[in-house]
Amino acid sequence: MIGKLKHLTRTAAAIAAFVTGMAFIPASSQATQPQLCTQHGELVAQLDGKYGEKVTASGFDGAGNFVQVFSSKNGTWTIAISVPGGLTCVIAAGDDWQEEKKPLPKAEVAS
């Protein structure tokens, strides 16, 4: 848990130092900590440059927001959400990312 908080703190500090004019937007009413938000391209560049994190998964949620998982070979990870026409916000980050390997489906044989 401390490692996850440490990575989140490092990520937040690095992005804050790199990006000027950044906005801290309050998280949803269920969370108590602010979210770190910036332009999508700035976040992608910072995560790659500082931590070697690249997009490893992405998709759209039910509200049309774009959700991305970034991870690195050394185990750091970040989850970000992009609002259509708006900013991209870091919603979680940590260490010790482990990718689940699913077996390939068996080929079907036509009879």
- Altogether, the residues listed in the chain come to a count of 111
Answer yes or no: is pLDDT of 80 > 60.
yes
pLDDT at 30: 41
Q: Which residues pair with 81 in a beta bridge?
A: 67, 89
Q: Pairing between strand 77-82 and 88-94?
A: antiparallel
Give percent above pLDDT 70 in the chain. Answer: 67
pLDDT at 91: 95
Of 75, 73, 19, 14, the residue nearest 47 (C-alpha): 14
pLDDT at 34: 60
Answer yes or no: is pLDDT of 4 > 50.
yes
pLDDT at 78: 97
